[in-house]
Structure 1
């Protein structure tokens, strides 16, 4: 199976599972569940759940456990997009080619839908269906909470907002923002497979090294796409980062320099999983896809 085939399979499987995990039938508050489903179902590449599933496969963990963990991670990712799109944040009207949640519903419902997705992620991880070992479930919950919270994605978003007011952006500051805002969830995705497999320190280090390089390459590719791609290609507005004065890698290095930096990071990621031989071929393809994608 090629990487793109595996990615599409994961997307289908995650959609099927999320449809089961966020049911509308019998909901206590149907409107917020409708908004949660609108945000989480039927769109997105599902690259983060793919990384959970693939790291778990390489290290010998159960695929169903990996899929549930990936679905939980996707709930957190989708919550972050809902909140990022709000007028108080990036103020976007379009996401994945359709109206953002606050445009489709309203701002209050969008906030609650994001809250619902975030908290539901931890409910999914806490269930025995995710892993029979309570210690493993607890480690997953702790790791995702750290990745999503003030020491991870939330902290990165705060620094990103503050950077809009800065007259200039140092490389160290941009790297710090993106390691938190984007990189933390990638790091969890690769670490989750190791946690599910109850792998040792060396496997965890390799997966985190791969994740750190791929996460940074992903953000650099996003910065390049914001400059080069059309709104039709991305399914959202482009050029807004520059307009808002956000700290980006294109600002630091220029488009060509940013592309070279991303390519070097991909090679670093590939080297990190070299000890796994052919088992890691899909991770190698995924790393190359990160900088070749057009959306």
Structure 2
């Protein structure tokens, strides 16, 4: 089966998991559930939950143990997208081919929907971990996700990104933004999956290197697609980086050099993951997909 078909199959599997965990739309506060579910059910590649599941599997872990964490990761990712799209930040009106949350529900509900998804993600992870015979590894996994999605990870990167608008910044600062805003949560989800799967220290190190390299490469390719991408395929507006005067790899180094760096990072990612003894065919395919993707 071709990689794209495998990826779609895995994404559909994640869609099914998400439906089981989505909050029911009832009660006085049902509007917030509707807003949460609107963005959570909007599709997408579902790469982060897939990577969480895959990291557990390749170290010989039980996939069932990590399902709540995979679902929670997508909730956290979705909350970040809702907030990113707000007028105070990127001010986008299209996400995954649909109107953004604040366009449909208003800014107030969009802010609250993002807050609710973040909180609910931790409810899901913690409630699934209570009563486990070996709670330490689940707490470690939750800590990885909390750290990489917080001020020392995704939010930290977003802060520097916002403060860097309309400024010419160094490649060092741009790498900080990308490594935290995008790569950190990918590192966190894969480390969490591997920890729950009882990875060795060496396996965890190789998985971390893979995650960091594909995370940075993914963002560089995003920067490239914002210039040369097809809006219909991307499901979002292109040219927003230029419009918002944001520093990106292409703006600092040019398109060709950016592509060269992204390719190099993917090569390093594959070298790291190929050290593992289990079947890493899918993760190698994902690395190649990231560099070749059009959306």
Task: State the TM-score bracket (shorter-chain normalisation).
Answer: over 0.9
Match of 1:63 in 2: 63
Alpha-carbon deviations, 1:119-171, whole Å to 9, x = none? Answer: 111111112369933212211221111111111111101100111142x2211
Q: What residue is the counterpart of 1:207 in the other structure?
A: 207
Q: Is the Cα contact below 8 Å between 1:125 and 1:140 reproduced in 2? A: no
Give the drift of 1:246: 1.2
| Cα distance in structure 1, aligned partners of 2:5 and 2:138 | 29
**8 A contact 1:159–1:177 mirrored in 2:** yes
Aligned to 1:186: 186
Q: Is the 8 A contact 1:10 1:50 kept in 2?
A: yes
- With over 3 angstroms needed to count, the CA separation of the structure-2 counterparts of 1:236 and 1:25, relative to structure 1, is closer
What's the counterpart of residue 48 of structure 1? 48
What is the rounded CA distance, in whole Å, between the counterparts of 1:18 and 1:197 in structure 2? 21
Normalized against structure 1, the TM-score is what?
0.95
Decide whether the 8 Å contact of 1:124 with 1:130 is kept in 2.
Answer: no
Structure 2 gaps, min length 5: none
| Kept after mapping to 2: 8 A contact 1:7/1:46 | no
Q: Is the 8 A contact 1:49 1:73 kept in 2?
A: yes
User: Does the C-alpha gap of structure 1 residues 206 and 27 become closer, same or farther in structure 2, counting only changes over 3 Å?
Assistant: farther
* Compared CA separation, residues 131 and 59, structure 1 to 2 (3 A): farther
Q: Runs of 4 or more off by more than 6 Å in structure 1?
A: none
C-alpha spacing 1:278/1:200, structure 2 compared with 1 (3 Å): closer
* 8 Å Cα contact 2:25/2:34 also seen in 1: no
State the Cα RMSD in Å: 1.6
How many Å separate the matches in 1 of 2:101 and 2:62? 34
Task: Map 1:106-117 onto structure 2 (within 5 A).
Answer: 106-117=106-117
Query: Is this contact kept in 1: 2:33–2:113, CA < 8 A?
Result: yes
Tell me the alpha carbon deviations over residues 76-133 of structure 1, each in whole angstroms, 9 at most, x when there is no partner: 0000000000000000000000100000111100011001110111111112369933
- For residues 6 and 62 of structure 2, what CA distance do their matches in structure 1 show? 16
Q: Please name the residue that 1:223 is paired with.
A: 223
CA contact (8 A) 1:79 1:118 kept: yes
Worse overlay, 91-100 or 25-34? 25-34
How many Å apart are 1:53 and its aligned residue? 1.2
Gaps of 5+ in 1: none
| Whole-angstrom CA distance in 1 between matches of 2:291 and 2:158 | 23
> Size of the alignment, in residue pairs?
294
SS in 2 for 1:236: coil
Give the equivalent residue in structure 2 for 1:104.
104
SS of alignment partner, residue 128 of structure 2: coil
Partner of 1:275: 275
More moved, 105-114 vs 66-75: 66-75
The secondary structure found in structure 1 opposite 2:275 is helix
